[in-house]
Amino acid sequence: MTISVGDRLPNTILIKATADGPDQVDTDAFFKGRKVALFAVPGAFTPTCSAKHLPGFVEKSAELKAKGVDEIACTSVNDAFVLGAWAKSADAGDITMLADGNGEFAKATGLDFDGSKFGMGTRSQRYSMIVNDGVVEQLNIEAPGEFKVSSAEHLLSEI
């Protein structure tokens, strides 16, 4: 079942790359008591993700925060080292990268897909959401192969 507006995010562990190495992030603790703009990409360094999705959130981070967003986070079914390198290459210092290396968060939210025919295995769908104190307030899931409703610009227009 796919998560919906009004649902609480499932509790899973994501991984964040830090200067001291990988750090476990409990989703209940991460989202508790604050408003987070969360977006997901099928893969770091993939064309649309690198050219449009991540750069849009980097560019619009100040505007999102001005509208009450406490933190902007990106998740992908990649490991923390890949997401850390991607953030560095994109100068995405304002974005918290949350690795879902085994796809557990994507599966728990029902926002996973089978990319095996492209050699990618299980991946996350492309989406954006506003999460307030662990509850989904807004959810924008892309149709396969599209990039419209999950953009930072679209999310800003909904806040």
State the catalytic residues. Answer: 49
The DSSP result for 23-45, as a single string, is: EEEEHHHHHTTSEEEEEEES-TT
8 Å CB contact between 15 and 25: yes
Task: Report the alpha-carbon distance of residue 33 to residue 131 in Å, rounded.
Answer: 10
Q: 111: Cβ–Cβ under 8 A, 6 or more apart, which residues?
A: 2, 3, 40, 124, 125, 127, 141
Query: For residues 120 and 43, is the Cβ–Cβ distance under 8 A?
Result: yes
